[in-house]
Structure 1
Amino acid sequence: MHNLTLLSDAEKNRIELDKQAAYAVWQVKNAKKGYEVFAELSNNIDDDDERDFFERSVSKYKSQMGVA
């Protein structure tokens, strides 16, 4: 068991970005939103490394959920 409060702010942010990516892919898969949601969320991320991490997470969840 991990205590998330002990993580650094950067690690907490990566967890949040991963959750947002998973939710965005779920929304597209279930026709709640269109593919533009990925660009909208990505464009709101200022840090290049965080944006890259988010985009890799989106790719990971697209593959897992069978979203093209």
Structure 2
Amino acid sequence: MHNLALLSDAEKNRVELDKQAAYSVWQVKNAKKGYEVFAEIANNISDDDEREFFERAVTKYKAQMGVA
């Protein structure tokens, strides 16, 4: 068990980006949103490293959830 309050702001942001990636893949898998949701979120991330982290997380969750 981890206390998320003890994480740095950067680490907290990565946790949030990972959650957004998982949720967006879930939305696509369940036909709640189209694939454009990934670009919409990524385009709103100004930091290149954070955007890349989000995109890697989307790839990870697509594989886990069986989304092509």
1:10-62 CA-to-partner distances (Å, cap 9, x unmatched) read: 00000000000000000000000000000000000000000000000000000
The residue aligned with 1:31 is 31
Q: Structure 1 segments of 4 or more deviating over 2 A?
A: none
Partner Cα distance (1:37, 1:62) in 2: 13
Q: Which residue of 2 aligns with 1:8?
A: 8
Aligned-pair identity in percent equals 85
Structure 2 gaps of 5+ residues are: none
- Show the counterpart of 2:57: 57
Unmatched 5+ residue regions in structure 1? none
User: Normalized against structure 1, the TM-score is what?
Assistant: 0.99
* CA distance, structure 2, for counterparts of residue 58 and residue 41 of structure 1: 11
Report the AA paired with residue 37 of structure 1: V
Cα distance in 2 between the residues matched to 1:48 and 1:60: 18
What is the identity, as a one-letter code, of the residue corresponding to 1:51? R
Aligned length: 68
TM-score, normalised by the number of residues in structure 2:
0.99
Q: Match for 1:66: what amino acid?
A: G
- The residue number in structure 2 matching 1:48 is 48
